[in-house]
Amino acid sequence: MPDIDLNRLVEPDRVHRSVYTDPDIFDLEMEHIWEKTWVYCGHVSQVPGVGDYHTLVIGRQSMIMVRDHDGAVHVLYNRCPHRGVQICGNPRGNTGKGFVCSYHAWSFHLDGRVRAIPLMKGYEGTRWSTADPDCSMKAAARVDSYRGFVFASLWPDGPGLAEFLGDAKVAFDDMCDRSPEGEVEIVPVCHRVVQHSNWKFFMENQLDALHPSVTHQSTGVPARRVEQRVKADKGAAPLFFHYLSAFATSFDQWDSVQTVNFPHGRGILKAYMGLRPTDPDTLEYEALMKRAYGEQKAEEFLSRSIHHVLVYPYLSVQSPLQQLRCLRPIAPNKTLSEIWHFRLKGAPEAIYRRSLWYYNLVNSPATMINADDLENWTKGQWGLEASKAGEWVSFHRNHGDDEERDGVLYSTRGTSEVVMRNQFRAWTQYMRDALAASAKA
């Protein structure tokens, strides 16, 4: 068992740099957080037909999400029980009525049960038998979904999905409720970015209202200038200018944006962008919403104050713009992020195009916004790997002001580092359980 003393690593207002760099800590995180908790696999619309599959990684395990004949969605380990070869080499596709291993053609039903073995002669008298579950592809211990979003847990025990999501369920409600049909459909390709930093940098940054007016000033200020020029010339500027100009907001304005910090590290950054202009597309969409839900309910759905919702420790859902970013950590200093986006079923095409602008302008690896964040996180990782340069990471900002009501932490200031303090409260609990489990093993 690794020699890790949590009391020396996490203090209420600061954490030790090694939580971002230590390979033993990373291994514990993979084994006892990612490979136990509920991990996002994908959306049901990613596998609409029988045999459609999508591959993904949970912790260090390669997995397949697949649609069965009866409509069920399974999540299976991507491994042939014969000699261990991965069954699906492509990120997605259709496997027909079952899986066939490319090495010696063992085949499997869509739920992973072994179907046929060529040349059965040769197994007589051995202890191998198709009745043995070890001859089938292994399934994730638990699979469940919430409003079409599929999660799997590789651990048979622990809270169910609804309990795991807790207050963060609002991320999926907010996204789906904005559709006149109450559902979303995934756009089945995503941006993938390998971040050269620990996964915690990304999660902390999502609700860090202190950085945008600095980090993104070089994009926000020129964008605002152009937006104002377009407004002066044409009377109005398309919403996508606002996506970038919003980053030019001053420190004081960011300070007035509230964060809500739920138990288990989850949290919300409240809305700071105006997403309800009065152009004809938006008015048409809002009319559809009112027809579908009635005036009052539609207004409730359209006016929820959310920018991001975090499902700690790996998901950031930007529900008002139908996007989701999912972390798949690779190493202490390497993290894959997948950036997915969705269509609101029944909403006009223009509303989809509008959120696509945000996807490409802000969340894509090619944008200056994302590039500036990535640069900070990489430099952050380098700084923390320098063993003689300093030991601590500071989260002192507004420490002592946190107000706890019903387990939820609030701060009077949007730029408070209560966000990170809350995430480390959750991380410490996860790691306490991890250390207890590895002591027992």
Which positions touch ligand FES (CB under 6 A)?
80, 82-83, 85, 101, 103-104, 106
373 binds, among Fe ion, ligand FES, none (CB under 5 to 8 A by kind): Fe ion
Tokens standing for 293? 């839900």
Q: Which are the contacts of 320, defined by CB distance < 8 A and separation ≥ 6?
A: 174, 178, 271, 275, 304, 306, 307
Residue 65 and residue 46 in contact, taking contact as beta carbons nearer than 8 Å:
yes
Alpha-carbon gap, residue 334 to 336, rounded angstroms: 7
The Cα-based distances of 253 to 20, 46, 217 in angstroms read 31, 39, 14
397 binds, among ligand FES, Fe ion, none (CB under 5 to 8 A by kind): none
Nearest residue (CB) to ligand FES, 41 versus 64: 64
Nearest residue (CB) to ligand FES, 87 versus 257: 87
Nearest residue (CB) to ligand FES, 11 versus 132: 132
Angle, in degrees to the nearest 10, between helices 199-206 and 418-440: 140
CB of 93 to ligand FES, least distance (A): 18
Alpha-carbon gap, residue 330 to 332, rounded angstroms: 7
85 binds, among ligand FES, Fe ion, none (CB under 5 to 8 A by kind): ligand FES
110 binds, among Fe ion, ligand FES, none (CB under 5 to 8 A by kind): none
Binding of Fe ion by 373 (CB under 5 A)? yes
Nearest residue (CB) to ligand FES, 101 versus 193: 101
Of all residues in this chain, which one has the CB nearest to Fe ion in the complex? 373
Nearest residue (CB) to Fe ion, 183 versus 373: 373
Binding of Fe ion by 183 (CB under 5 A)? no
Q: Radius of gyration over alpha carbons of the chain, in Å?
A: 24
Say which amino acid occupies 408: V
Residue 412 and residue 401 in contact, taking contact as beta carbons nearer than 8 Å:
yes
Choose the binding region for Fe ion from 75-83, 107-115, 176-184, 368-376 (rule: CB under 5 A): 368-376
Query: CA angle at residue 146 from 145 to 152, to 5 degrees?
Result: 35
Alpha-carbon gap, residue 213 to 246, rounded angstroms: 9
Nearest residue (CB) to ligand FES, 12 versus 118: 118
For residues 107-146, which are near Fe ion according to CB under 5 A? none
185 binds, among ligand FES, Fe ion, none (CB under 5 to 8 A by kind): none
**Strand, helix or coil for residue 311:** strand
CB of 91 to ligand FES, least distance (A): 20
Q: Which are the contacts of 158, defined by CB distance < 8 A and separation ≥ 6?
A: 36, 37, 164
Return residues touching Fe ion (CB under 5 A). Answer: 373
